[in-house]
Chains A and B, each alone.
Chain A
């Protein structure tokens, strides 16, 4: 396969082994006007991410609000362009692709956003919403379109009687089902779910999560599942990356991560998840200070102002992601592990 040669994958490499999405040193800098001054301040929202998402997996990405999760997703989808680094999709370099060259790839990567109401044009009926991806792609007859829309709606559990409704006439759960249906109608391989259940009722969250998991099995999809909620990520993910301040700080298979938490930030996130067992003696870890400002990042380890284990080296030297065995990667100078 030609792309295999370009990326240097060994000839005859099994397609299953090739990551669907690879990020190398992926970085995004934004410049913003600071306060009322005219001077622009540049800050790094996503910082040198190296990450492979394997075909067929659910990769969970967690981190606090503002740590750069959505920006990373937009970089992969090329809805924002990278400042440096690269993204490969199915072995093809996306960074620097022209708008036109990007078009055929768009069909293979889709996204579901947090707020389903905001994601649906209020002036479009459900039928128009579902028809849009087909119209943009082109080449479908009217009856083909109708059939595809009906099939997809059935798949996500929306009845055809809703076709003439507008988004405001649907429930939150129905809207998100519609967003999912729209994103899957062109049969993509890769779906980004950016806080896809965060705005829904808890009972509806479970339905949508199960729907997503069922669809994944049925259609052989690969997910990048973004959430600030560790419990949700744990429920759906095969592998989890923990993001802090634009960088990945921990990366492991879900079971391994929860059995063997290594980064102090991950264990703080974990202690913030409410424990349903009232007899539990688990102590909540209280983080010392708030999230530092992206405009004036702390030197050394970005987490050190808040870290219980910080020492003088942490303030000086930035830890790199290192393999601690078992495909468990951590960016921390110390081998502290989770709270015993």
Chain B
């Protein structure tokens, strides 16, 4: 057995057994962050905090929620909203949190794309981030089903039906996922399990992976500069804090993070108390009815862009059926962002605005995503259908031409350098 001496304090006692001083150094006081970053680099922490608010409010909702087709709707809309003291508060935190977390995820993701933080050693950060995006999407979808209102039911119906388009096994797969020939009690209870246990566990694991993947490459900075962390942290520890390009995570960087987080929370609780309605679709206050389709089915705002890609192809092309093309395009949209580190063929890590061609690509992509989001909510008739079609095509083309654009850019940058 190792030799233990009598400890003089609780800290020392713990340190002997758990090596907490070392742990604290490695994770906190000597985990280095570049100085040259801005508030957008606080989004990761904002996400981590929002996730914990979702977890805590979810635990309180779970105590009164009943996963049964006959009881679910009332347990939410009557018991939690009207009987349980402060039940409404937890429900509004949970609903608003689920919506806002996607806003922050998108900001976080597009910050990564803008600054080129997905390449040159940061590929695993990007991939673990995309894994989180997929898991959060599944979590949001399964959670949306639980109140068992009309939108819950029909969103579940439409989304599970999507799997029916997979060749050969499609029809059986849909029945297997639902546990019935239609969206029924078995569907509700299994998605309840996924929402409260399996997916949150997977998210916790994925967050751990995401943080760990940051350790070796470190976070990027506003110029995409390659920093010698060994040397710069040496300067900092030697007391030359001004010359050093880095600061420790704790207590210096965290102070900035907490400042941004505080501003975010003011905005967040403003929504929770005064504007929760945007996260609560009125259609979902009608109980689920499998015999009556609502006139107009649409997902929550954060899925609208991919929903629009799904229905953008509204006519058959040659032997291909419209619904199959839409499904293929939808599948493409789901995975293509994950491949970004390999589609961008330029070695440059720099803000998009300092890259001659990528700048145009980035801003076109933003515009296309906004258009897709807006039209995803509108009925797909007349001109709307055509706008949806052309923006879906543009979305796909943008990714197909990205390798060419970035290769050309790399050439241009190289020849500019020679010219100097």
Do A and B interact with each other, yes or no? no
